[in-house]
Amino acid sequence: MAVTSGTFNLVKITKVEYGDADLTAGAAPTPLATMGTIKSGKLNLDFPEQGTTAEYSEQTQQPYRIRRSPVMNKASFELVTSLMSEVQKFLGGVLTETATPSTLKIGGSTTIANKYLVITGLNTAGKALTVTLHNAFITTSWSGAMGEDQETVGLTVNANLLEDASADKLVATITAAF
Interatomic CA distance for residues 133 and 21, integer angstroms: 9
Interatomic CA distance for residues 124 and 110, integer angstroms: 41
Confidence check: pLDDT of 8 > 90? no
- DSSP one-letter code for 77: E
Work out the number of other CB atoms within 10 angstroms of the CB of residue 21.
24
pLDDT in tens, 57-101: 999 999 999 998 888 899 999 988 778 888 888 888 888 887 778
pLDDT confidence bin for 114, thresholds 50/70/90? very high
pLDDT in tens, 130-169: 999 999 999 998 888 888 888 888 889 999 999 888 888 8
Containing 172, the helix (H) or strand (E) segment is: strand 172-176
Interatomic CA distance for residues 59 and 43, integer angstroms: 49
- pLDDT at residue number 136: 94
Cβ–Cβ < 8 Å for 65, 56 = no
Q: pTM score > 0.85 for this model?
A: no
pLDDT confidence bin for 1, thresholds 50/70/90? very low
